[in-house]
Amino acid sequence: MGKSTLQQRVEQANKAGRIARIPFITAGFPTKAEFVGILRELDAHGADVIEVGVPFSDPVADGPVVEAASRVALEQGVTLPWILEQLAGLTPRLKAGVVLMGYYNPFLQHGLERLAADAAKAGVEGFIVPDLPLGEDAPMRAALRAHSIDLIPLVGLNTSEERMREYAATASGYVYVVSVMGTTGGTNSMNATVEDALERVSRVFSVPVALGFGIHSPQQLASLRVKPQAAVFGSALLRHLEAGGTVAEFMKPWVS
């Protein structure tokens, strides 16, 4: 099996001498009317991959910022079919790849085969499902693989190397390393624990390593002894947009 499109996107950024940039934005935030414009702006200002959050009423891994953004989106009537419809009209004009990040229930309710087909039509290249454990992911993985869509694994600072090997056996696209012990958006000084985890992940996985949760600036990564191939940043971007800031302002430190 060859390298997926997502993996190639990250590796192309690395070949250019930089970490791949993966911003996260909740679908329909801050408003449904602004969502597509924000995706275009992220694409125009250096995103290699854009993670789009599918709002859900009962999140388990989201911090207060992402949870609040999801609540706002749900109150506006944002649904998975609406997200796929918006993406279908946009992705042909984006340079960046698109990954959907969300909880298993909405995906299962949509129907896994239907989800994979609709996602492929919408130009989605990968999924991240925080509450879908290894061992229960085979049906979704098979449905997505039939359309060349990656199911991206999540590993944490306390994930054992043995467990990582199990994830690595089916990993495609990239592996997402959670840099904090908890929910998204937490503070993080990028300490030795993170470096140790990155070292173990890099040793076990053949796909690129993306580091996320609690990342708000490239300076956080500068001092790491072991660096990831990609950085995911979400809560900081959501806070910036909620405060009236622009995508261009937020992305400037990442592209300068």
Cα–Cα distance measured from residue 129 to residue 105, given in angstroms and rounded to the nearest whole number: 10
Residues labelled catalytic:
51, 62
Type of residue numbered 63? G
DSSP for 195-232, written as a single string: HHHHHHHHHH-SS-EEEESS---THHHHT-SS--SEEE
Q: How far is CA 4 from CA 10, 27, 125, 230, in A?
A: 10, 24, 9, 16
Question: The sheet that has 175-178: what strands, in order across it?
Answer: 150-151, 124-128, 97-101, 49-53, 20-26, 230-233, 209-212, 175-178, 154-155
In whole angstroms, what is the distance from residue 110 CA to residue 119 CA? Answer: 11
Angle at 160 between CA 162 and CA 106, to 5 degrees: 95
Length of the chain: 256
CA 37 – CA 212 distance, rounded (Å): 24
What is the three-class DSSP state of 27? coil
